[in-house]
Chain A
Amino acid sequence: MLQLGIKELAKYPFLAETGDYLRDKGFNLEQLSDPDWKPVIEKAYGRIIVATTGQIYGGDVENPDLEILSFVIAIILLKSAGISTLNRRFSLAEARRAERYLEQGLNALQKDRTILENLKLKEESIQSSLKIVQDLFSVRVEMEDDRLKIHIADYLKRAAHFNEREWKLVNRRVESGYVYLSSHEIVRLVRKELDVYINSKIQSVNISFIPETFRERVGDLVLLAKKFSTVVIVSSDYPPCIKHAIEVLDRGENLPHSGRFMLATYLLAKGQTIEQIAPLFKNAPDYNERITKYQLEHIAGSSGKATKYSCPSCEKLKSENLCFAIPECDGIINPVQFGTRRKTNA
């Protein structure tokens, strides 16, 4: 596997190397009961809290030991709390954080390397991003002049599952077996896998006991999670288009404006309030609480004199690639009718 310097490990603390690092340092769970560790535990807790609000923890790679340890402790805290919503939000936020570094690394690759002031460090960051993409997700990124490219099959495996038209292979530069992409696009392709990978890391951790010093913060996390679960009401009675939109947002992927509009109008029609709906958009890459509220109020017709908007028809949604019809959709023309009409078995 990878051989990373400690600064690189601080960027990607979810890698298997973290285990080696802890062993080298002679680190074990018992030590954590010592009050000296309190600040690290607080940092770990903060890291989780930031994640739950849908933001990305900034971190400080200049202090790599603290970075790595706070990640490890955050996982222990999460594991002890045992609440999957928290795990999901945490892995998503950590994935986003790692994405930034991956993109920086790939970007550096495209620049002329001779003019970089700290050559060795850049080189390391390039190598680690290439290797992470390749070793964890089996995507080999290659360089041609100053362009990045990946194999067509590697591209299709991921991009064919995105809904936006610009991800269709026919809308890409394809030459001689390769798709040419920006560093940002490459990172976008592996986003979901990165999230799944980090989440699986949390799942696979085994902890034998919880140090006394953790109990308070674990308790706080449990309380916090209670608050969450009452906010977003996801019903299994939703039509596939709505479920799909919620899933996209939940994964932290971008939902086009038309999709957000559909979701908001649908939920408003089903009697949910703006306060209940707004948190759904929290994971969106471009989330801004104030703007989201404003837009929702606009759609609901509660701000100014604006008219109230209603949910678009199935036909409209089909044309926008937002429809994922199933047999239960037969005979309805608008998602709000879904489930209200019983099939008559005459």
Chain B
Amino acid sequence: MHEKNVNFVEAALKEYYFSNFELIHVPSRTSEREFGYQKFNSGMTRHLTIKNDKDLHFLLMTQVPSDVYCSNACYSFPNLPMSEKDWKEADLIFDIDAKDLKLECRKDHTCFKCNSCQSTNEQSTKCVKCNSDKFDIISVTCQNCISEAKKEVKKLIQILTEDLVINEEKIQVYFSGNEGFHVNITNSDYQILDSRERADLSDYIMFNGVMPETLGVSKQNNSKMSFPDIGERGWRGRAAKEIFGSKSKRPKIIQEILSGGYSAFQSRLEEMRHTIGVRIDPKVTMDVHRIFRLGGSINSKSGLSKILCKDLENFDPFSDACLLGDEKVEILANCPISFRLKNKKYGPYVDETISVPKHTAVYMICKGLADVAQ
């Protein structure tokens, strides 16, 4: 990021951290956690320990990091190199990102920044200015993206509470600060699972790798007895609902499945991953050594806060997580797409100097859609 942009964004972040201490706390079992942070245009500093909120606030004020992270794992020696940390256990974490949901609306709010001349393009075949074909993808988020991501969160919570019997009070849902949600579970029976075990748990949640036999279809003799019923608990019940729709249609659809054969049913199950499976990012869940964005901190991809959603249904990230100041700032916008923040629509802009509230200025600069005006 350009120097003058960095100075502007850092000042906005510092102001935010100074006046929002009450939003940013160290997690439980603080002394067993690894912390890390990043500054603009530089690498990651990790393997840190932080004692309490006061030390955390001191770090935020003195370093003004672009991003702050904390391990989901607890270690005996969190500040030693990875191999010597002595891993004890880790919170379960899930990442649901609108970018992974393959939504129709994505193309309306995605554009491409040319790697060689920095101009923004609506397509990624050839740069209109310099003919280069190397681009960075830039995307903003729309209401549809957020409500689709919320649906995934709800599906996830249903499985966590019903199948895994995790107490709802232990489940914390955060807006990620950019295009999705983070779900964090502390202190559950699943803390001790290692990476491979979490990978299998992820597959369960995603409805991944299910065999036709599990739902009553086998290569040889099929017995109607083992087809699932709509009333059953767990995946069998949910799959039955998806496949049969209603109890009365069940016998007819079973006949269709039987005549369709094994591999047809197998492909059907594959497809059902996208409808009834929860689209989490399994790499996040299976990583037991990750440092994960700290709640209350700013996400430098957008300038929005990673913030706890107390009421997911009514949560609106475009105002509830948009917490930087609203003084007017002049920026040079280069933004072929439009977006909304705090109930106001912005864009598209073509090489335009505009005056916008500070939170919007930071949002656009962080996204690479604007620069601080000269």
Contact = CB atoms under 8 A, between A and B. Distances in A.
Interface range for B:
20 to 34
A315 B209 CA distance: 19
A171 interface: yes
Contacts of A160: 193, 196-197, 199-201
Given A153-B189, A156-B197, A173-B234, A168 B209 contact: yes
Given A157-B193, A165-B209, A170 B203 contact: yes
Contacts of B189: 151-153, 177
Contacts of A156: 190, 193, 197, 200-201
B163 to A, nearest CB: 5
Contacts of B128: none
A240 to B, nearest CB: 15
Interface string A244-278: 00000000000000000000000000000000000
Contact of A171 (B164, B209, B233): B209
A165 B233 contact: no
A171 B213 contact: yes
Interface in A175-190: 175-177
Interface range for A:
20 to 34
B87 interface: no
Interface in B330-350: none
A151 B210 CA distance: 20
Contacts of B165: 176-177
Contacts of B236: 173
B213 A161 contact: no
A232 to B, nearest CB: 28
A74 B159 CA distance: 50
Given A153-B192, A175-B163, A177-B165, A170 B199 contact: no
B200 A169 contact: yes
A165 B208 CA distance: 11
A165 to B, nearest CB: 6
B203 A176 contact: no
A173 B210 CA distance: 12
B204 interface: yes
Contact of A157 (B192, B199, B208, B210): B192
A174 interface: yes
A189 B338 CA distance: 55
B354 interface: no
A133 interface: no
A151 B165 CA distance: 10
Contacts of B190: 152-153, 156
A159 interface: yes
30 contacts: A152-B163, A153-B190, A156-B197, A156-B200, A156-B201, A157-B193, A159-B200, A160-B193, A160-B201, A165-B211, A166-B211, A168-B200, A168-B203, A168-B204, A168-B209, A170-B204, A170-B207, A170-B208, A170-B210, A170-B214, A170-B235, A171-B209, A171-B213, A173-B234, A173-B236, A174-B204, A175-B163, A176-B162, A176-B233, A177-B164
Interface of B: 162-165, 189-190, 192-193, 196-197, 199-201, 203-204, 207-211, 213-214, 233-236
Interface of A: 151-153, 156-157, 159-161, 165-166, 168-177
Given A160-B200, A170-B210, A177-B189, 4 more contacts: A153-B190, A153-B192, A165-B211, A175-B163
Question: What are the nearest 10 A-B pairs in CB distance?
Answer: A177-B165, A160-B200, A160-B197, A175-B233, A169-B204, A156-B197, A171-B214, A174-B234, A170-B204, A153-B189
